[in-house]
């Protein structure tokens, strides 16, 4: 039985969600010389579902190497990756405010998919889960989009929004996993952690 795990994620939301489950964790973040952005390159012709699961597994492998390099105890490692897609196209993190505005204008008045992959690696092997949710945005006026972009919230987030922040006022309905849309689907994550014999 393990009593804690390593979370290889910068995301404060993933930390909150693990805490909500009562899971004890230590952060296992990249060294400054690790090129973590390179992991997130989309391959030609890759579907969003394949992409999010591949990137999540690559993050897990990088975290395992990190654990070995630092000679840390053999606790399980958890990684996660969230991708927003509209009509089969991946909407990543916006490059800048103008990119965020363009993405939000596309999402307005439509339903898009949010895919979150989770990988847990332990002595029992590498296990994966994929959570797929649908989010419907109400139509949004350009001035509403501008105001949201100016708040700074869309930057650094897949699809240029965070469901747990101000964007909630644009979300007409969701089908799927709220925690998955936030970045860590708790139902699937708990099942993977039980498989890895983590006590929580």
DSSP string, the chain: -BS-EEE----HHHHHHHHHHT--EEE-PPPTT---GGGGPPPTT--HHHHHHHHHHHHHHHHHHHHHHTT-----EEEEEEEEEETTEEE-S-SSHHHHHHHHHHHTTSEEEEEEEEEEEETTEEEEEEEEEEEEEPP--HHHHHHHHHTTTTTTSGGG--TTTGGGGGEEEEES-HHHHHT--HHHHHHHHHHTTB--
CA distance 190 to 131: 13
The HSE-up count of residue 162 (CA atoms within 13 Å, CB side) is 17
Active site residue 31: no
Q: Are 53 and 130 in contact (CB under 8 A)?
A: yes
The residue annotated as part of the active site, out of 35, 49, 50, 81, is: 81
Which residues are catalytic, by number?
81
């Amino acid at each position: 039985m393990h009593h804690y795990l390593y979370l290889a994620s910068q995301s404060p939301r993933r930390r909150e969600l693990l805490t909500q489950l009562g899971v004890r964790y230590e952060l296992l973040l990249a060294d400054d010389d690790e090129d973590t952005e390179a992991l997130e390159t989309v391959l030609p012709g890759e579907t969003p579902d394949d992409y999010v699961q591949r990137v999540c597994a690559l993050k897990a492998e990088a975290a395992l190497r990190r654990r070995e390099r630092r000679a840390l105890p053999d606790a399980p490692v958890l990684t996660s990756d969230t991708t927003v897609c509209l009509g089969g196209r991946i909407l990543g993190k916006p490059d800048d405010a103008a990119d965020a505005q363009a993405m939000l204008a596309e999402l307005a008045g439509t339903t898009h998919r949010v895919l979150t992959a989770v990988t847990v690696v332990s002595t029992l092997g590498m296990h994966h889960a994929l959570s797929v949710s649908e989010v419907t945005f109400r139509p949004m006026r350009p001035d509403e989009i501008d105001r949201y972009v100016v708040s700074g919230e869309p930057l650094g987030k897949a699809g240029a929004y965070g469901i747990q922040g101000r964007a909630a006022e644009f979300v007409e309905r969701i089908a799927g996993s709220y925690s998955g849309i936030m970045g860590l689907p708790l139902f699937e994550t708990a099942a993977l952690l039980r498989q890895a014999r983590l006590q929580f």
